Amino acid sequence: MDRRTFLRAGAAGLALSAAPSRGYAWLADAKPKRVGLIGTGWYGKADLIRLLQVSPTSEVVSLCDVDSKMLADAAAMIGGRQASGKVPRVYSDYRKMLAEKDLDVVLIATPDHWHALPMIAAVEAGADVYLQKPISIDVAEGQAMLEIARKHKRVVQIGTQRRSTPHLIDARNKVIKEGKLGAIGMVEIYCYYHMRNRTNPPDTAPPENLDWEMWTGPAPMRPFNPIVHPRGWRAFQEYGNGIMGDMCVHMIDMVRWLLNLGWPTKISSSGGILIDKAAKANIPDTQEATFEFPDFPVIWQHRSWGSTPDPKYPWGATIYGEKGTLKLSVNSFDFTPQGGNEKPLHGDALFEYDEYPEDKTEKDLERHVASAIRGHMRDLLACIETRAMPVADIEQGHISTASCILANHALKLGRTLTWDSAGGKVTGDDQANGLLARPYRAPWIHPGIKA
């Protein structure tokens, strides 16, 4: 049965990833977890608080950050939020925190260049892990991370929480599994947010509360710039993979989950810094990428300038089927049938203010995403108990992350890359394969480069 026939078969034949709609009442009786967080900034705290909401008997015992002020503020906040009232221990070096070997779960929400080493150390210390996306800054890191997770049989959930987003699960069940799209011919994914930093401030000395040497870690050392910290580091390719690695990874992962896609076979990309050339940022302001799958392409576009084609869907996906079109975002979905007797369908993000009124006032919380993070955390906790594979398992995170990284390599090299998923390399392209592992700054050692 080919994929087009497979999709027509509807709910009876679809073998999509399991939805996080399992029963979770029994988690109330599960053993409380001892939790640690590495990276106490914006999303680290948002993730941690959602974990405490769904598992209030768990206790945050350790926090780690290289910014002493951010660390102290987070410790005071969590001490006031968790049931025990205890203020967590604080560390400036994740290695010292993990050396205690007393944590059941470690959350990691550092900048992207600091994902691999703490995740591997946490797994080796015996913890299960919740790791923010993208899983790695290069492909070889991701391969090493997947290998170590499997070796130690750890549960690793990736923060691609579209897989746990209630209205997207609803769209999958009511539209895709019901065969309302028919055969799919193309998918577009996109982001038109004006999110690339447009300023060009001079470099300065780092603030006294920030250990710039440790913050930089294995990344290339460059002078501190006030854009970078906090939250602005994504403007620089030294610390991430641009809008491709930040926003496309969510959308390609969502589409892969919805449509049961594995690895793309070919990846091409074009773009660059085409408009905003005076900014300090060195990531593309414009980029297109085509991810070729066996039956249809998934095409990405981002522009951090200009207008969005559909103001209701500035960041999302459009799935084009012979029987209709499905648009999806973090806020809503809309199904528009192509003739026939089907009716349009619409869904909105789930807000759970009745059960979690604190969401209304939490500083910097993406309120429309809170229910998705809670679903992701429930799924993580359930899989820790059962040792099952979570909905956003590290292998799925690796595929989505590596696909975006390969798109950046295709842009840099100016050619299409053919990906050998079994061999973990680009077919017939030594130059492209030479980009799979970024050089690490001494004394840090790349986990994917064998001695």
Q: What's the distance, CA 342 to chain centroid? A: 34
The SS3 call for residue 113 is helix
Contacts of 122 (CB under 8 A, 6+ apart): 38, 98, 103, 106, 108, 129
pLDDT in tens, 293-317: 999 999 999 999 999 999 999 999 9
Residue 28 banded pLDDT, cuts 50, 70, 90 = low
The residue-averaged pLDDT of 45-72 equals 96
Contacts of 313 (CB under 8 A, 6+ apart): 327, 329
pLDDT in tens, 93-128: 999 999 999 999 999 999 999 999 999 999 999 999
Residue 275, pLDDT above cutoff 60? yes
pLDDT at 56: 93
pLDDT at 1: 29
Whole-number Cα distances in Å, 143 to 364, 402, 408, 425, 447: 33, 9, 18, 11, 9
pLDDT in tens, 214-250: 999 999 999 999 999 999 999 999 999 999 999 999 9
Angle between helices 139-151 and 116-124 (to 10 degrees): 10
Residue 21, pLDDT above cutoff 90? no
For the chain, list the domains and their CATH numbers. 16-162 (3.40.50.720), 166-356+394-433 (3.30.360.10)
Portion of the chain with pLDDT greater than 70, in percent: 94
Write down the pTM of the prediction: 0.93
